[in-house]
Amino acid sequence: MNISERIKYVGMTDCVKKRFEGLWPLPYGVTYNSYLIMDEKVALVDTVDCNFAEGYLENISEACQGRKIDYLIVNHMEPDHSALIARIMEIYPDIQIVASAKAVPMIAGYHGIGADRVKVVKEGETLCLGSCTLSFHMVPMVHWPETMVTWMPQENTLFSGDAFGTFGAVECDDWAAGEGHLMGAPRQESCLAEFRDEMIRYYSNIVGKYGAPVQAAIKKLGGLDIRRICSTHGPVWTSEIPQVVALYDKLSRYESERGVCIAYGSMYGNTEAAAHALAAELQKRGIPYGLHNLSLGDDVADDLGLSGAIRDLFKYDTVAVGSPTYNSGIYPPALGFMEAIAARGVKGKRFFSFGSYTWAAASTKLMDEMALRSGETLLCEGKAFAQAFSTEKCDMGAVADLI
């Protein structure tokens, strides 16, 4: 598929895998994007997941029409983008890998390929392909230490690796126009509107810990006149680039909108009843919220479990976590979410805990302590209630009034 006269899309769509990285549900699939730059010399930008080797190699063969590939640009070494490096080198034995210095030991470790086959590039270094040049810019920890992006000034195109990527497979007849649709989802007014929640979920689940490096990368790339972003997951961005960059900027500064992320684990339905009661009170008041059962984690679009809760942690300014007391502690699914908050460096959220207990209340106290250590602000003292939930025991209307 042609993105321009010189840039061809040769990536693959994955509607088979259930979980990304073995963790994050994929109700709408995902793409592994790879690009060929056709000039006097030919450069391949990134590869794809190993499970799609045959189709990918057919795409390359059809696009190249018998021409050899001179360079393989490795922006990022995560295996969903680098798994086929050795296979490409078997087919194109004269190819030269272009990568950052920190990628060299990873290439050796994953593929047994020595440093003599790698052209190491430094910040701002260029590579001429004929009528166009590529320059390379280091963006360490976005979201691995070896990561770089590739800039093609003649077409104002940024090959951004995982930056500005998103979950979701793309339906797109015209890749040059950049008007992709989220496969299997209702059509909305724009490409970004369709992918926005999946972009937030991708960022929060995968990149969320690295807000400061993302901010540094945005500042570094701020002087480029970017008119096309070719990331490794999701659509090719064109008309909505300012909005896409603005969303990444907002997420990496941990800015959020009014609303509540309600995340809960429940053994026998009592804490779940409290979570639904809070959601009902928020709905009465017109306050946006996301409701997530941490005990499920099913790959269905309306309840993405932990993955969806982490998305809404970044999306909203308030987080409410429900957990029964379990072995004198926090129920494991809720504990996992509390640890995810701390691991991603999310601070300044208004926090509320709730949960049932039978003979000894502990979970809400422990969650409040964890939230304070993570830099959150308690909306009020956690609400623990004995045995079954009732409004008399735990008034969620009063809590909603504080939000």
- Residues 229 and 347 both lie in one domain: no
Last residue of a domain, one of 234, 252, 270: 252
Does residue 191 lie in a domain region? yes
Residue 171: its pLDDT value, please?
86
> What is the C-alpha to C-alpha distance for residues 60 and 15, in angstroms, rounded to an integer?
21
| 1 inside domain | no
Average predicted confidence (pLDDT) for the chain: 94
Q: What is the mean pLDDT of residues 195-217?
A: 95
Q: What is the pLDDT of residues 218-256, one digit of tens each?
A: 999 999 999 999 999 999 999 899 999 999 999 999 999
- Chain position carrying tokens 């659509």: 235
Contact partners, residue 345, CB within 8 Å, separation at least 6:
209, 211, 254
C-alpha to C-alpha distance for 293 and 289, rounded to whole angstroms: 13
Predicted TM-score (pTM) of this structure = 0.93
Same-domain status, 169 and 305: no
**CATH number of the structural domain spanning residue 380:** 3.40.50.360
Structural domains counted in the chain: 2
For residue 134, the cross-strand partners are: 127
- Residue where a domain terminates, one of 252, 277, 294: 252
Q: Is residue 107 part of a domain?
A: yes
* Pair of tokens at residue 192: 């970004």
Mind listing the pLDDT tens digit for each residue in 352-377?
999 999 999 999 999 999 999 999 99
Q: Is the pLDDT of residue 80 over 80?
A: yes
Beta pairing partners, 294: none
Interatomic CA distance for residues 296 and 264, integer angstroms: 10
Instruction: Tell me: do 303 and 189 sit in the same domain.
Output: no
Q: What's the confidence (pLDDT) of residue 178?
A: 63
CATH code where residue 217 lies: 3.60.15.10
Residue 161 lies in a domain: yes
Whether 171 and 66 map to the same domain: the answer is yes
Percent of the chain's residues with pLDDT above 70: 97
Whether residue 229 sits in one domain with residue 299 = no
Q: For 338, which DSSP code?
A: H
Instruction: From 252, 285, 306, give the residue that closes a domain.
Output: 252
Same domain flag for 288 and 244: no
Q: Is residue 208 located within the same domain as residue 294?
A: no
pLDDT of residue 184: 87
**Is residue 40 included in any domain, yes or no?**
yes
CB 367 within 8 Å of CB 395: no
Residue 46, exposed/middle/buried by CB under 10 A (0-12, 13-18, 19+)?
Answer: buried
Nearest residue to 206 (alpha-carbon basis) of 22, 396, 17: 22
Q: Are residues 325 and 384 in the same domain?
A: yes
Q: 297-306, 318-327, 381-390: which range is least confident on average?
A: 297-306
When pLDDT is cut at 50, 70 and 90, the band that residue 177 belongs to is low
On whether both 307 and 368 belong to a single domain, the answer is: yes
Is there a contact between 379 and 400 (Cβ–Cβ < 8 Å)?
Answer: no
Q: Looking at the structure, do residues 365 and 329 belong to the same domain, yes or no?
A: yes
| DSSP secondary structure, 146-210, as one string | T-EEEEEGGGTEEEEETTT--SS-EE-S-TTTT--EETTS---SSHHHHHHHHHHHHIIIIIGGG
One domain for residues 210 and 317: no
Mean pLDDT of 379-395: 95
Q: What pLDDT, on the 0 to 100 scale, is given for residue 175?
A: 58
Whether 235 and 300 map to the same domain: the answer is: no
Quick check: is 2 in a domain?
A: no
**Residue 299 confidence (pLDDT):** 47
The pLDDT-based confidence of 176 (bands split at 50, 70, 90) is: low
pLDDT band at 61 (very low <50, low <70, confident <90, very high): very high
Domain of 319?
257-401
